[in-house]
Amino acid sequence: MLSTYTYPKFEYRTPPELNGKPKQRHPVVVIGAGPVGLATAIDLAQQGLQVILLDDDDSVSIGSRGVCYAKRTLEVLDRLGCGQALVDKGVTWNVGRTFFDTEEVFNFDLLPDAGHERPGMINLQQYYMEEFLVKRATQLAAIDIRWKHKVSKIEPSKDGVIVVIDTPDGSFSIDADWLVVADGARSPVRRQLGLEIDGKVFQDRFLIADVVMKADFPAERWFWFDPPFHRNQSVLLHRQADSVWRIDFQLGWDADPEEEKKPENVIPRIRAMLGDEREFELEWVSVYTFQCRRMQKFRHGRILFAGDSAHQVSPFGARGGNSGIQDADNLGWKLRAVVEGIASERLLDSYSDERGYAADENLQNSTRSTDFITPKSSTSKIFRNAVLDLAREHAFARSLVNSGRLSVPAFLTESQLNTSDTDLFEGWMMPGAPMDDAPVQVNGLDTWLLRQVSNASHEFTLLIFGTNAIDLPELPWKVRVLRVIQRDGLSNPGDVVDTEGLVARRYDGRSGTVYLLRPDQHVAARWRNFDATALRNALSKALCLI
């Protein structure tokens, strides 16, 4: 098979622990240098924490695997210092089209409103994403990445964890105050600890073919129900970087994965789809099944599970990798606040609660998509096809067509970290909401609202509309004041000028309005007028101090 990508080989070094270096206790150890482990390590290191990152391999993931990275992931990676690298290499898209037989029955636009820096989605092979994250991680002196370090045993204790590690030079152990486990869906650590992960296995098989070809299809997501070239099944097409295209064929449960993977069986399927004239080469082929399941709790004492090790979904909706990055984003500031003694340890239970809530939403949506795409009974299939029939003509049926509800960040409206509204607001930026972006100017330069909030410094932000003077009270953690000034208003250096009025519109901001924003860019509280006591209480609540 052809290869458009050269896998990097990262250097294994003999661990200093085996060279006679005295054993040290580490504040945080992260297991797994996939997207989630890398994002967690970068986040913590940017906040000044020393991190050991362990990986049993010495390269990036093999095969393109994860493909779709959502707006929210890009916004998180912007704060981690590598969002632009992904956008530059990736294929930007917003529109998805769904076909039934030969006709288009439904389309969606992930970002119908202008005024956001990042697109709804980019497509990029997972190995590129990991490569960019590794590159960023190696720029940070606080991260010690250990390749070819395979964790063989975890021994939890009341105030820490002992991690036993095998390397090519032998075994040793390290002590950690906190352990983040991002070792993937099969999670050897989760298994060794005997922790359960419950849910549903779907009895269906899908074939992934990554194909290198020259094609001028638009950069859109195309999904077929029952197309002439693959009857009674579904097909999904995505464009990736380097003229690589992802084609995903539903095969059914009875398919033989080993037979289906053979090029002589894959190539005719692709020919039937693309026509005989189109030249292409296979780059990667895989047959997969999937499960929808989650751990009950993502925190077990000093051990925190993130990404696929904690929850797994079907691929329809791109809710796997994208939710893992949001786990890292949610965990980073909380772990730092607990390690530094600013917040109560209970803040880490809120990591489990908030990301568990998000996992439930992802499980619900991806399970519904799967049930629509692969109906489990003849009645279910009759309804599904009736929706697709009616969708040609009737708007209500188009809204029921479910070929995947694509990843968006959860509105953490149930979180105990929120302070409920006492004033009236329009719009969607309620406590728990992920922040909306907007075009702004700072110091005369065009930029974006999200770029101004917790960019690498990870403090809480107090967003104040207008120029009203305020006196910050004594607070349990640093809060950075950021002012939003109307376009023609008088602004000081560093103020956010609302050039198009979109900040005011999206946040229903009037002169005097105040938002308390978390380091992960979720709204914690908001008021029509600044009140020092209310702010102190809200911040204390967001840190689980009260």
Does position 368 bind another protein by CB under 8 A? Answer: yes
DSSP code at position 251:
-
Residue whose CB is less far from another protein, 402 or 419: 402
Using CB under 8 A as the binding rule, whether residue 147 contacts another protein is answered as no
Q: How many positions of this chain bind another protein (CB under 8 A)?
A: 24
Residues comprising the chain, all counted = 546
Distance CA 498, CA 277 (A): 53
Burial of 406 (0-12, 13-18, 19+ CB in 10 A): buried
Q: Tokens 């340890």 sit at which residue?
A: 345
Residue 395 makes contact with another protein by CB under 8 A = yes
Q: Considering beta carbons, is residue 169 or 361 the nearer one to another protein?
A: 361
Cα(426)–Cα(404) distance, rounded to whole angstroms?
29
Asked if 379 interacts with another protein (CB under 8 A), we say yes
- Of the candidate spans 144-152, 370-378, 452-460, 508-516, the one that interacts with another protein by CB under 8 A turns out to be 370-378
112 is a site residue for another protein (CB under 8 A)? no
Q: How many angstroms separate the CA atoms of 37 and 51, rounded?
A: 11
Q: Rank residues 365 and 415 by Cβ distance to another protein and give the closer one.
A: 365
Interaction of residue 428 with another protein, rule CB under 8 A:
yes
Task: Give the Cα separation of 65 and 246 in Å (integer).
Answer: 10
Angle 113-115-121 from CA coordinates, rounded to 5°: 70
DSSP state of 396: H
Which of the ranges 26-34, 148-156, 216-224, 375-383 carries the binding residues for another protein, by CB under 8 A?
Answer: 375-383
* Binding status of residue 371 toward another protein by CB under 8 A: yes
Q: Interface with another protein includes 471 (CB under 8 A)?
A: no
Strands of the 311-312 sheet, one edge to the other: 198-201, 291-294, 311-312
Nearer to another protein (CB atom), residue 103 or residue 446: 103
415: contact with another protein by CB under 8 A: no
**Beta carbon nearer to another protein, 47 or 365:** 365
CB 511 within 8 A of CB 465: yes
Q: Does residue 193 belong to the site contacting another protein (CB under 8 A)? A: no
Between 60 and 406, CB nearer to another protein: 406
By CB under 8 A, tell whether 483 contacts another protein. Answer: no
Answer yes or no whether residue 175 interacts with another protein by CB under 8 A. no
Q: Which stretch binds another protein (CB under 8 A): 44-52, 130-138, 324-332, 365-373?
A: 365-373
Q: Which residue stretch of 254-262, 366-374, 483-491, 522-530 sits at the interface with another protein (rule: CB under 8 A)?
A: 366-374
Helix then strand count (H, E) for the chain reads: 14, 28
Q: Does 111 bind another protein (CB under 8 A)?
A: no
| DSSP string for 152-214 | EEEEEETTEEEEEEEETTEEEEEEEEEEEE---TT-HHHHHTT---EEEE----EEEEEEEE-
Binding stretches for another protein (CB under 8 A): 365, 368, 371-372, 377-380, 383, 387, 389-390, 393-397, 399-400, 402, 405, 408, 411, 428
